[in-house]
Every structure is written in structure tokens, then in C-alpha cells.
Amino acid sequence: MTDAPAYGFDTLQIHAGAKPDPATGARQTPIYQTTAYVFRDADHAAALFNLQEVGFIYSRLTNPTVAVLQERIATLEGGVGAVCCSSGHAAQIMALFPLMQPGCNVVASTRLYGGTVTQLSQTIKRFGWEAKFVDFDDLDAVRDAIDDNTRAVFGESVANPGGYVTDIRAVADVADAAGVPLIIDNTSATPYLCRPIEQGATLVVHSTTKYLTGNGTVTGGCVVDSGNFDWSASDKFPSLSAPEPAYHGLKFHETFGGLAFTFHGIAIGLRDLGMTMNPQAAHYTLMGIETLSLRMERHCENAKKVAAWLEADDRVEYVTYAGLPSSPYADRAARCYPKGTGGLFTFAVKGGYEACVKLVNALEIFSHVANLGDARSLIIHSASTTHRQLTPEQQEAAGAGPNVVRVSIGIEDADDLIRDLDQALAQASA
């Protein structure tokens, strides 16, 4: 796939990054289940370790199966390179790691997955980093939150759990004016519905566990590099612009240009943090991506039908799906996400916390799990599970109040899903 821009999305999701195996002719990408790789000779080994030649050294750093997945996701996202890792949370740390120093901060959206809020508000403090949370609908608040110590702006394209849609271009303009990169978590939208780099994002992160794999089998994460940011324009990003002692003073941006972030992610990030994706996980995700566009179309179609039915039901207080005409984000969704807004949304159940618990327990087709993006329809009561570590105020800000359940609509028959919700709501409201 040397001329990637000439091919359509449906072709790239099957072919990008992959060729028949040169040793066996195998058409599907093999699982290279190996720890290490034999060097041609001592000079070859030295060149690899000096970053003078690209190749395989040790599977904590690079692996042929994972390399195909990296190229495929980067191609679908319109990036120059990507680094895959062990989970979506690992990808977020991998994205921040080259940018941050003790005393630095990241400006983050208030509408984020609960685990991400905890990671940014609590865990990163142990690195000496800080997060400032602001409403991304208030661009002045975003602008005011950025200070001399800000090193990134972070948001989600389609936010988990409520399906809120971000105006990426507007936020990117604010970040650009401040000279800091915008990181967008594109897990819920996938590159089929949204390509954040085209809207101004510098880096894109994924939990490949979700829609990219699409079958609930393996965990994984990915950081995609746009290649567009000038890491040497200021002294804010010394990991990328200044001499690196571990490589005899090599300057990543000066040496690798647009691929500086990608090379740093492998040569420093994976080397020292060790958040490696295993090749079997990469294999499952590659197979999942082959049907991504087909699945996302069905996810969107089903979600819109189910959300409209829920909105019309008297047992439901409100539905947050941005694809509904009644949504306050309907115009933004049509403009920024014309193919649809995915299969993720929340709805509030009359009767509050207890009614939500009864609803979850009564469902038969929906699976009660802490996941999303599966071919199967999933449900969870966020306030008592994924967001329970947050304060009540943070739960409400994230759209995960006590009367709210999150659904990830799968690719089953939509009428069957509606019947299941109908009988469960009847029990919840009895």
C-alpha cells in the first residue's frame, strides 16, 4: 500500500500495512510470537541500537505483527506513524510522557471517561504533573486555563459515557495559538466517523480494546502521530528537541522530523515504560479492523433507532445521543461527524439509582460489563462502577449521575434490543 491516499477507507482497513508473508506466502498477517530477533552481524545490531537503521530488536520495542497494526491505524487516521501499547490507559500515558516534566500541566475536558479523569486528576500527580479540567464548549475557559506550564490539551472526540461530541477544530485553534499539542481520544468515534488530525489534532489515542477490535477479546492501545507539530519551536518539549543522553546527544526532532514523536515513543517510551502490546492482541485487532466500517455503520443505525425509541418512552427522563434531532449537539454532530456519532450514549431512568439497578439486572440481550465497542450490546450503571471513584459533582459533570445508565449499542437486530429494553424498563418501573 505505497500509494495509500489513492485508496478508500474500506480498502485500507483490510490492506494497509500488510503484505503476504515473504517466508511462507501466508495472506493473513502471522502472529510473530517471538521475544527477540537474530541480527545479521555485529554492525547491524549496533545500527539498530543507535537508531541508524529501522528493524526488529526485542519485542518490548518492536514486533512484526504489531508493526502492521501500527501502520494500519496510522493510515486510517491520516497520521505519519503510530505506537501500539498494552491498553488505552497506557496510550494516554505514552502520549503525555514525551511532553511533560515535573511542574507541567495538561488542560483536559470535563467530559471524559471516569478512569481517565482519575488517571489525570490523581495518578499523574505522582509524576509531578497536574491536570486542569474545563468545559470544552467554553473556548474562553480553555484559553484561560492554558498557562506557561501547559504542555497539552486533552479531550475525547465522542465522549464516554454521554456521547458528547467535541468541536475538535475549535479546540485545536486554541491549542495552536498557545503553541501546545491537542491530544484527542478517538476511541468511541474511530477513524471511520472522525479523523481528528484532519481537524487539527496533533496526536490521537485509542483504546483498541473497543471498536477497533470490536469483539471484546483483547486489550490494547495506540498513539497516532500527525507529524505536523514543530517540537523545536520553543523550549517546552526538551525530550523531543534537546539532546537525548541515552542516545549520545541525538535530537529526536532534528533527526527524525515529522516522525520524532513516533520514534521517541518506541525508543524511549516502550523501552523504559514497557507498556508493550502482545502480538496475539495485535492479530485480533487487525482482524477486527477489517470490518470496522461495516460495523460502525450498523452501530450508528441501531443506536439512532434505539435512542429515538427511548426518548419517546415515558419511563425515561432524557437521552444524550447526539445523533437525535433534539440533541443540543445535533448541528455540531452533522457538521463534524457526518457519518454518525457512534453507538455510545446514556439515558436517565425515572426512579433514580434503584430503578437503574433493576433495569440492568432485568436485561437479557444486553450484557452488564465494563466495556464498550463490542459487537454485542452492553450496559453499565456508571455511577456505581466506572465512575464511582469520582465525586458526585464530577459524576454529574461527566454525564454519569446516579439516575443514568450507559449503553453501547451493538450490531444485533435493533427491534430485539428495543424489546429487551422495554421489558426491563417495565420491571424497573414496577
pLDDT in tens, 334-350: 999 999 999 999 999 99
pLDDT at 3 over 90: no
What's the mean per-residue pLDDT of the chain?
95
Banded pLDDT at 69 (limits 50, 70, 90): very high
pLDDT at 409 over 70: yes
pLDDT at 4 over 50: no
What is this structure's pTM?
Answer: 0.94
The string of DSSP letters for 273-332 reads H--PPPHHHHHHHHHHHTTHHHHHHHHHHHHHHHHHHHHT-TTEEEE--TTSTTSTTHHH
Domain boundaries, the chain: 16-288, 292-428
* Position with higher pLDDT, 257 vs 385: 257
pLDDT in tens, 356-397: 999 999 999 999 999 999 999 999 998 887 777 778 887 777
Mean pLDDT, rounded, for 247-252:
95
Q: Which of 123, 143, 127 is nearest to 135 (CA)?
A: 143
pLDDT in tens, 302-333: 999 999 999 999 999 999 999 999 999 999 99
Banded pLDDT at 16 (limits 50, 70, 90): very high
Question: What does the radius of gyration of the chain's CA atoms come to, in whole angstroms?
Answer: 22
Question: Could you tell me the sign of the dihedral formed by the alpha carbons of 306, 424, 111, 288, in that order?
Answer: negative
Rounded to an integer, what is the distance from CA 129 to the centroid of its chain? 21
pLDDT at 299 over 90: yes
pLDDT in tens, 189-247: 999 999 999 999 999 999 999 999 999 999 999 999 999 999 999 999 999 999 999 99
Model pLDDT, residue 385: 79
pLDDT at 2 over 50: no
pLDDT at 1 over 60: no
Model pLDDT, residue 5: 55
Percent of the chain, pLDDT > 70? Answer: 99
**Given 1.10.260.40, 3.40.640.10, 3.30.420.40, 3.40.1480.10, which CATH number is that of 16-288?**
3.40.640.10
Fold annotation for 292-428: Aspartate Aminotransferase, domain 1 (3.90.1150)
Model pLDDT, residue 235: 96
SS3 category, 178: helix
Amino acid identity of 283? Answer: H
pLDDT in tens, 29-53: 999 999 999 999 999 999 999 999 9
Dihedral (C-alpha) 301, 304, 309, 313: value to the nearest 10 degrees?
A: 160
pLDDT at 92 over 80: yes
